[in-house]
Amino acid sequence: MDHDPLDVIAQSYRSLAETQHYSAQTQRLGLRLQGFALALLGLSLLGAGVLFWQHGGQTQALRAETQTLTAQTEALLEVLRQRQIP
């Protein structure tokens, strides 16, 4: 079972080329996965920003409603005080 040295070298180069091909495919897959992960991260950060923005708007609306209710309550108390005084 004699192996021709040129055949061994040729087989070695073929194996190296296949390995490089698989390595390149793996790197491309890794880059795609990284891109997908970054897109998901960006979307999640955008969603968090929207939630914080909405929360801030709700807080301002709640403050405005509280001030309105306070003013209405004070006005009602004043009306009731005026009615009680004969």
pLDDT in tens, 19-69: 999 999 999 999 999 999 999 999 999 999 999 988 888 888 899 999 999
> Residue 3: left (phi > 0), alpha (psi -120 to 50), or beta?
beta
pLDDT band at 13 (very low <50, low <70, confident <90, very high): very high
pLDDT > 80? residue 1: no
Q: What tokens were used for 29? A: 């897959």
Residues in contact with 64: Cβ distance below 8 Å, sequence separation at least 6, in sequence order: none
pLDDT band at 83 (very low <50, low <70, confident <90, very high): confident
CA distance readout (Å), 76 to 45, 51, 66, 86: 46, 37, 15, 18
